[in-house]
Amino acid sequence: MHILVARTENKKAGRHASEQHQRQPPQLSDFRVLLREIMRALIAVFSLYICSAMAFMPTTLPSASRACVRTSAGRRRAGTRLTPMMAVDQGSTLKVGIVGATGAVGEEIVKVLGHRNFPVSELHLYASARSAGKSVATPFGSVSIEEFDLDKARGLDVIFLAVGGDFSKEYAIKLSATDGPVVIDNSSAFRLDPSVPLIVPEINQQAAKGKKLIANPNCTTAIGLMALFPLHVAFGIKKVIMSTYQAASGAGAEGMDELKAGIASFVKGEPVKNEFFAYPLPFNVIPQIDVFTDNLYTKEEMKVTWEARKILGVPDLPVSCTAVRIPTLRAHSEAITIETERPVTPDGAREVLGKFPGLKVVDDPAKKLYPMPLTATSVYDVEVGRVRQNIVFGDHGLDIFVCGDQLLRGAALNAVIIAEKL
């Protein structure tokens, strides 16, 4: 079935201070107080800007680029990129459910469905009992939040799971069994299950054909592979070394709330508390995401290795990742080094990357143009830049820098595109 889719006043010092006062050197403590007040003011402005942007910035269409898009007939057409891999048929409408609809990913799925004109005839939003009965505005009208009911949910056509792995393990198979709906699971529950396809639509959508349960990759994996896959096709990848700089929203709405509350506490001169993260995140980086495994990599880091191998279809691909949590609200960044099987040049890599749907090459160092969370937030395309020859691997190596909105490409957008293409 083909389905259409698509943020001091400055007072002058008094000129008539006493000569004795003028001759007194300023005290170090005075400088410290002044510096702290300046920092507080700057942080307050920054915090206000970021929070406002996050609250009011709409999800934008991908930027125009040289890349091609697939038309409804499957042809490639040069020009302004529309939403990636736009599907074809508006004739059918679907009953859609979202479990975890009040979370960060669930809310983004609702927005993306509306933005891409997904043909929804009924929208069911499932959340906890405390949220049940509340009415929320959606692109499809006002919808009342419901408690999850397995039997009722099985009467839908497509269900997005934007909840933890425990829920998915209990209900995903029951939902999708026999005549149940297609289930697209954003948790890690089934990603490594050999019988469940792990999908990035631009890379391996064909693996989802005929499947009722489909896994969405880890956000870091999905963003990185958008750049790695076309390079792999063109030059062959022998090794991948990755360092990630992951935003607070990668930990969900609670992560964003704790970061914003921590910044506000710092501005007020109050202690910065941490409950969700291992340490206070404001003005800090934490080189641990998820638990440590026996090999001293974290589980988040190993997810990148395991999932990249499965999606690319290279089960023994050497992939090493270091994952770091940083104090930004949205959009993950990744510094990636690859060794290639065939010679590669920066210009050749840029050409390949620029033709891949869902990617935007932002790479003009002379003009200070490169990928950043600031420009990748709330944007469908993944930004790639800082493309350069790696000085260790020479003409068989490349360094790149990637930024992508993990709530979109790393979660909601990826899930919706999967549904569009089924």
Question: 62-71, 105-114, 247-256 — which is least confidently predicted?
Answer: 62-71
Pair 171, 230 in one domain? no
pLDDT of 235 reads 99
Q: Are residues 163 and 110 in the same domain?
A: yes
How far lies 239's CA from each of 217, 318, 388, in Å?
Answer: 20, 5, 16
Q: Which domain holds residue 186?
A: 83-217+412-421
* CA–CA distance, 331 with 377 (Å, rounded to integer): 5
Residues 166 and 243 in one domain: no
Higher-confidence position of 83 and 364? 364
Q: What is the CATH number of the domain that holds 295?
A: 3.30.360.10
Residue 66 is assigned to a structural domain of this protein: no
* Residue predicted with more confidence, 69 or 396: 396
> From CA 96, how far away is CA 123, in angstroms rounded?
5
pLDDT band at 66 (very low <50, low <70, confident <90, very high): very low
CB atoms within 10 A of CB 292: 12
Kindly indicate the confidence band of residue 17, based on its pLDDT and cuts at 50, 70 and 90: very low
Query: 155 and 175: one domain?
Result: yes
The band of 252, judged by pLDDT with boundaries at 50, 70 and 90, is confident
Least confident stretch, 36-50, 76-90, 93-107, 216-230: 76-90
Is 309 a member of any domain?
yes
198 and 273 together in one domain: no
* CATH code: domain of residue 191: 3.40.50.720
Question: Given this model, what pLDDT does residue 34 score?
Answer: 52
- 203 and 283 share a domain? no
Q: Is pLDDT of 266 > 70?
A: yes
Q: How confident is the model at residue 195 (pLDDT cuts 50, 70, 90)?
A: very high
Q: Do 179 and 234 belong together in one domain? A: no
143: pLDDT strictly greater than 50: yes
Question: Is 210 among the domain residues?
Answer: yes
pLDDT digits 0-9 by tens, 351-363: 999 999 999 999 9
Say yes or no: 175 and 227 in one domain: no
Cα 239 to the center of its chain, rounded Å = 24
Residues 252, 141, single domain; the answer is no
Question: Predicted confidence band at 11 (pLDDT cuts at 50, 70, 90)?
Answer: very low
Query: Are 209 and 229 contained in the same domain?
Result: no
**pLDDT of 23 strictly over 70:** no
* Predicted local confidence at residue 59, as pLDDT: 41
Verify that 174 and 208 share a domain, yes or no: yes
Percent of the chain predicted with pLDDT > 90: 77
Let me know if 286 is exposed, middle or buried by CB neighbors in 10 A (0-12, 13-18, 19+): middle
Q: How confident is the model at residue 333 (pLDDT cuts 50, 70, 90)?
A: very high
Residue at 24 is within a domain: no
Residue 264 belongs to a domain: yes
71 in a domain, yes or no?
no
* Category of 261 on φ-ψ map: left (φ > 0), alpha (ψ -120 to 50) or beta: alpha
Band (pLDDT 50/70/90 cuts) for residue 92 is: confident
Per-residue pLDDT, averaged over 6-11, amounts to 36
pTM for this model (two decimals): 0.79
Which of the residues are catalytic?
Answer: 219, 332
State the Cα–Cα distance between residues 262 and 260, nearest whole angstrom: 5
Out of 64-73, 154-163, 290-299, least confident range: 64-73
**Is 181 inside a domain boundary?**
yes
Residue 86's pLDDT band (cuts 50, 70, 90): very low
Q: Looking at the predicted structure, is the pLDDT value of residue 223 above 80?
A: yes
- pLDDT digit string, tens, across residues 24-43: 444 545 544 554 565 565 55
Provide the number of structural domains found in the chain.
2
| Residue 253's pLDDT band (cuts 50, 70, 90) | confident
Indicate whether 185 belongs to any domain.
yes
In a shared domain, residues 295 and 366? yes
